[in-house]
Amino acid sequence: MNLRHLWIVFGCGVSLAAAQQPNEPANEPIATPFVEAIKPTFETQKQARTYVLDIPAPRGQISDRNGAPLAQNRLCYNLTIDFPTPLDFSDARALEFAHENIATAEKLLGRSLQVSDKAILRHYHNRGFLPFEIAQDLNTDEREKLKTALTGALSLKPIYLRIYPHDSVAGALIGYTGRTSRNADGIIQNGQLLWPETEGREGLEQTFNSMLTGRYGHYKVTFDKNGRKTSDRVIDPPVPGYNVVTTLDLHLQEMAEKALAAKAKRGAIVIIDPNNGDILAMASWPTFDPNEFVPSISAAKFKALQSDPNIPLLPRAWRSAYPPGSTFKVAVGIAALESGTITPEDQYECVPEMNIGNTTFHNWKHTDRGSLNFVQALTQSCDTWFYQVGIKTGAEPIMDWAARLGFGAKSGVPLKGEAEGRLPNDSYMQKMHGRKILGGDIANLSIGQGDLLTTPLQMAQAMAIVANGGTFYQTRLVQQVQTGSNEIVAAYAVRVKKEIGASPQTMDQVHHGMIDAVNGPLGTAHQASLDKVSVAGKTGTAQWGPKEKERTAAWFAGFVPAEHPQYAFAALYEGDVGSTVHGGSAAAPMIGKILREIYGQGTEREKPESEEDTSD
């Protein structure tokens, strides 16, 4: 910026041409006395005529499907000191003025305010005509104490802060915001923000940040030639950001998190509407309260969250992948039936163990269960039955049908860091193990173990497809984005991704086996059953991780009511190192607790003593 522009900006009314002699070369330096007429830093503010500063806009709201707010704003008040203009105090007088008002404020509030002399002088020198904050986010009692006793120099300045009205509910999914900068204390410039803006740092707050942010307003302040403030006003009010309407049902989300809190140290529950693909609840446990990040989180609190061994900042529902265990037998069964490998009438022996290559593979039950057809094998979750049928079917058809159900691919929800899961094929096995898929690998895959991985979100998505008979809806987390006056800015319509192509007969077999798994006498998920509503489900138990740190993933996945499904679900219970947990005894009760509340049916089932409900 040249000297002419400086004079125009600061309103001194003298042009560059007037400062030059008629015959003076244009590129000659201007005389020193002329340059000395402009003084640095806060002295220039006395000559400034006008500033136009930006006002941050309130962020838009995030709500559930019924309009219940999940993230919104609240008006908070900061206590400030207003220095008189013109800004002609000496440093000593500026400090004295500030100290007097800070002492008054401390007496009124009944607490100490820590404000450094360095901060006072830096503000006075660089931006003294703006309010100087000495206390933030005063509570109601403090505001009441101040209202009737504010001096001419002490003011309450309102600003907006983010608030998450249901605390930790859906915290991992909503995310949180953070300041884009600290409070400015440098030399004021036109176009600067009056206070720091916030931006989304995780979850939906991050994904939809540009739509939630809104449009700046403008605040104009004017000075006379002596540097005395003559007026200040908002010339353009800020325009709030757009509102994001999710597919979540707040009540279901709360139920899912309560079930996890009551029964799991770590885990996840996802509930999807199988009739349109809408995510109704997606809970990860443990979680965190995004209010802790407002207006900023302390280093100590953030370190505590990061160092927590249960990793509360990890959204397990979509960012963690686990071996699916016996829940994957649903996909194996569809592949075997659709490929013609088996018919519904075919029977295989459910023996306690069998040799494949040089390895002995066991059933989770230690006794011979006789000859079983598919429905019986799925009901009892017979491992040795699925080893035989899986090897006969082959890896390629199993992986193909698993992919049709959405395994091994991101669902496409608008959340960063979604895990892809894994469907191992020959190229993967060659890269990781130096060989193609062998019989023992297929046996492991047939019971959902080995190199297979899936997320709770993918599992619930697959159950939604099974529930509705084979329609793969695009999984949806956000319905629309709209203005405060309910004008639609962006809409995400219900969309059929594809039909998976399984026959009604195959899907009927799967449904029958899943219903019996919950309600039949030999089923593995009795703790999720209801008295008057038929639940269809499949338990699963799988080990993962290095041997010395091996953990167990306990699953229960399915849909309800079995005849006309309203909800598809997946529950994951992540066990401790060295502990033994099972899908029937750890994951199924969490879903049972939710379903009993949804359908208003009785109390928790007592844990049966049978082997079937404590394993798989």
Q: What is the pLDDT of residue 609?
A: 44
Q: What percent of the chain has pLDDT over 70?
A: 90
Q: What is the pLDDT of residue 607?
A: 54
pLDDT, one tens digit per residue, over 322-358 is 999 999 999 999 999 999 999 999 999 999 999 998 8
Q: Helices (H), strands (E): how many in the chain?
A: 21, 23
Mean pLDDT of 477-486: 96
**Phi/psi at 322 (5° precision):** -135, 155
Confidence of residue 28 (pLDDT cuts 50, 70, 90): very low
Distance CA 206, CA 29 (A): 52
The pLDDT of residue 40 is above 80:
no
Mean of the per-residue pLDDT values of the chain: 89
The pLDDT of residue 31 is above 80:
no
Confidence of residue 485 (pLDDT cuts 50, 70, 90): very high
Distance CA 573, CA 586 (A): 6
Q: What is the pLDDT of residue 150?
A: 84
Q: What is the pLDDT of residue 274?
A: 98
Distances (CA, A) of 613 to 13, 224, 533, 587: 88, 83, 20, 11
* Minimum mean pLDDT range among 131-135, 179-183, 487-491, 551-555: 179-183
- For residues 472-496, b (16+ Cβ closer than 10 Å) or e, as one string? bbbbbbbbbbbeeeeeeeeeeeeee
The pLDDT of residue 10 is above 90:
no
pLDDT, one tens digit per residue, over 383-431 is 999 999 999 999 999 999 999 999 999 999 999 999 999 999 999 999 9
The pLDDT of residue 305 is above 70:
yes
pLDDT, one tens digit per residue, over 514-546 is 999 999 999 999 999 999 999 999 999 999 888
* Minimum mean pLDDT range among 133-147, 317-331, 466-480: 133-147
Q: What percent of the chain has pLDDT over 90?
A: 77
The pLDDT of residue 3 is above 60:
no
Angle, helix 588-599 to helix 250-263, in steps of 10 degrees: 140
Neighbours of 111 (CB within 10 A): 10
Domains and CATH numbers, the chain: 3-38 (no CATH), 59-216 (3.90.1310.10), 250-613 (3.40.710.10)
The most distant pair of C-alpha atoms in the chain lies apart, rounded to whole Å, by 114
pLDDT, one tens digit per residue, over 246-266 is 999 999 999 999 999 999 999
Q: What is the pLDDT of residue 149?
A: 80
Confidence of residue 5 (pLDDT cuts 50, 70, 90): very low
Confidence of residue 605 (pLDDT cuts 50, 70, 90): low
Confidence of residue 368 (pLDDT cuts 50, 70, 90): confident
How would you classify residue 40: left for phi > 0, otherwise alpha for psi between -120 and 50, otherwise beta? beta
Q: What is the pLDDT of residue 19?
A: 32
Confidence of residue 181 (pLDDT cuts 50, 70, 90): confident
Q: What is the pLDDT of residue 315?
A: 98
Mean pLDDT of 585-612: 79
**465 CB burial (10 A radius; 0-12, 13-18, 19+):** buried
Query: Whose CA is closest to 429, among 440, 417, 420?
Result: 440
Q: What is the pLDDT of residue 544?
A: 87
**Phi/psi at 46 (5° precision):** -65, -25
Distance CA 423, CA 437 (A): 12
Six-digit token string for 530? 């209801």
How would you classify residue 237: left for phi > 0, otherwise alpha for psi between -120 and 50, otherwise beta? beta
Q: What is the pLDDT of residue 148?
A: 79
Mean pLDDT of 288-292: 96
* Minimum mean pLDDT range among 65-79, 223-237, 273-287: 223-237
Cβ neighbors of 140 (< 8 A, separation 6 or more) are none
Six-digit token string for 490? 């962006």
Whether 479 and 246 have beta carbons less than 8 Å apart is answered as yes
Confidence of residue 47 (pLDDT cuts 50, 70, 90): low
